A and B are shown apart, each in its own frame.
Chain A
């Protein structure tokens, strides 16, 4: 069936006035920048929390005056209490996992780039898109609000396991309004993510321009599309989980709270619930969540690599896309590997362990595609490529650690040690961050019309890369030695020899954090003083590079975009734009 004439998504004229243009905007480009900015702020908040944690771990008696201003109860005299350490850890995880890693590569770049990459003028539902952002924003405000309420943030971890998270204030500081605000924040984030996923799916299926068949979609678009499907199903289950937790807390129900519990000498008036039910429902979301975080990273790196290696990925679009789809689908059947020591049925442990090993196959296929594509290519070592290679390194390293955790036998020892912390920071945290940085350096010229400083970018990369290994590789070692995660101090005899190693990690972490200010400076300074960017500074092929930097209001200035080629037609210096010469800006 041939292309059909259809009414474009956008019928309204460009907005006037500051509020309509930059605040309550329905333009996907503005919304994408809003999400990216939110994530950037959240990243620095999350990092600051981790610095406070690391300072306390290395020097337990250290005084942190700023924090004692924020929470006199949690930091009496500037010295951190163990409970406040747990609160910081909880919010570090929550803010980083949700508001940075889930938001930036998907909602941030996806919102900006997906409509342009498919040749549309906007997302399918622009007002829903705006609503999604502002709901996320309110969620973030609520999460930050937990710091300024008297009782402080919750201390139950980003995983918020009941009964601790469900019984209310009796469980400790932050478990009153802190946990309620947390629950509300996450519930709002769920709703925003569901609506965002809906938008991505419908846009990719319905708003592709003439000639943009599914086989010509850029790999990043495929990644966002597959990710939207995974997000839709996963967040749909997290939402009721949060609601049931709130009912336990505020409605007196006992979904997750067993009988006979005594907290702080208070017998809890609940009975008959199952904490395991929460874990099942949470991890049903929680495992796909880590793939929701990494799939856009896969897409961004798969999109960037061909530009800088000047050749297509091995296997073309099909193999990498099928690998991503397989990863996304399999991500739903492995959640129990987070519950091997929870008291879950050991037969279910087997049922979850086997696909956990299988899910490595599509991941490894993807990694091999990227690695083999590098072979015999002319690498242009610009910053986006450096961060993409860094992503590869971090993902492979983290993935190797995963083998030890995938099997109940070895996991029994390693569960809840810093080995796990090192593992997920590599695979989920920092590799996604590196891919996000790669995307930032790659798409910044398009988004803001200016080039970032290459020199500062390279310094940022090397400091971050070395720093990440120093911090998180060492955590694997301390984890083998038995260092328990979520502990605020190394008091047990066998852990005392680890204190110098711990100090090394903390110093490296602070230096790693400092390096990020180079990036922040670069991003802000270049916005105003950077050299102006051309339409296609990297010599890439996809539709976003066939329009001005930044793009006009309707993305293409009224042109009928017609696509004739696939997204990866690179051959050394030559690159064939996806768009036909008649519709191209550069064409006659």
Chain B
């Protein structure tokens, strides 16, 4: 149609059909990934629910200190989502230094979450909890489901922090732009979203 709009450059710009979603392809790719990851977490949580419903004695061992720890972790992760948003907004406004600062804060908060989580894990392991052992005498599946679900979430937090580091470095060096920051931000919000379900189901439902 409009031949003049076709650039004959080495970069090979072409006229394409618009996307029905009107978003960049890496952002759509991230959304598609999020759907699959949500289903993976969902299957894990359903397996937990199945075990719990089917178990004769489940036990609800978490003292208030564990719940409080969980609330703090939730606050940390939620704050990191807000700082991630701040970073994306700054990047989209072209304020690179501010975006980098907020990216750094997000990574730090993610690290704090992971540290709090690991501290809690070590405390539980010290009390005798294992994947296959419940020291309170309830179902052994408690340890299995708790460590596997929270472990999967923790691995997502850690990979998220690593991904943020990569994006931050690339953004600093102008290899990546605001759209990359936004895309990794989507992943980070997803990790927070999963925690919004993991915390009530794994902690609050098992509170003493």
Contacts and interface: CB of A to CB of B under 8 A. Distances in A.
Interface of A: 1-11, 119-121, 124-125, 194, 197-199, 201-202, 205-214, 232-233, 235-237, 239-241, 243-244, 247, 251-255, 269-274, 277, 281, 284, 554, 558, 560-562, 582
B11 to A, nearest CB: 6
A120 B14 CA distance: 9
A206 B139 CA distance: 49
A214 B11 CA distance: 26
B47 A244 contact: yes
8 contacts: A2-B18, A3-B17, A8-B13, A125-B26, A210-B16, A233-B36, A244-B47, A272-B54
What 8 pairs between A and B have smallest CB-CB spacing? Answer: A252-B132, A253-B144, A236-B39, A236-B36, A208-B17, A210-B15, A206-B25, A240-B43
B40 A236 contact: yes
B39 A233 contact: yes
B17 A554 contact: no
B47 A277 contact: yes
Given A198-B29, A207-B25, A240 B44 contact: yes
B47 A198 contact: no
A442 B47 CA distance: 45
Given A5-B13, A202-B25, A210 B1 contact: yes
A241 B166 CA distance: 31
Interface in B98-142: 130-132, 139-141
Contacts of A10: 12
B65 interface: no
A269 B5 CA distance: 71
B35 interface: yes
Contacts of B25: 9, 124-125, 202, 206-207
Given A124-B25, A208-B16, A210-B1, A255 B131 contact: no
Interface string B3-47: 101101001111111111100011011001101110110011001
A235 B36 contact: yes
A123 to B, nearest CB: 10
Residue of B6, B14, B21, B47 with highest tally of chain A CB at under 10 A:
B14
Contacts of B37: 236
Contacts of A561: 14
B144 A237 contact: no
A273 B141 contact: yes
B33 A253 contact: no
Given A6-B13, A206-B19, A253-B131, A244 B36 contact: no
A208 B37 CA distance: 27
Residue of A5, A207, A214 with highest tally of chain B CB at under 10 A:
A5
A560 B14 contact: yes
A3 to B, nearest CB: 5
Contacts of B51: 255, 272-274, 277
Residue of B29, B33, B44 with highest tally of chain A CB at under 10 A:
B29
B55 interface: yes
A312 B143 CA distance: 59
B148 A254 contact: no
Given A194-B36, A210-B1, A233-B35, A125 B12 contact: no
Given A4-B16, A247-B131, A255 B47 contact: yes
A456 B2 CA distance: 48
A198 B33 contact: yes
A125 B33 CA distance: 13
A235 B21 CA distance: 24
B17 A252 contact: no
Nearest to A210: B15
Given A194-B36, A562-B1, A3 B12 contact: no
Given A239-B40, A254-B144, A212 B32 contact: no
A6 B33 CA distance: 23
Given A125-B29, A198-B32, A236 B43 contact: yes
Contacts of A205: 19-21, 28
A253 B16 contact: no
Contacts of A247: 131, 144, 148
A7 B20 CA distance: 17
Contact of B13 (A3, A7, A125, A554): A7
A8 B148 contact: no
A207 B14 CA distance: 10
A4 B16 CA distance: 6
B50 A277 contact: yes
Contacts of B36: 194, 197-198, 232-233, 235-236
Contacts of A8: 11-14, 16
B144 A3 contact: no
Interface in B152-205: none
B59 to A, nearest CB: 12
A561 to B, nearest CB: 8
A198 B5 CA distance: 30
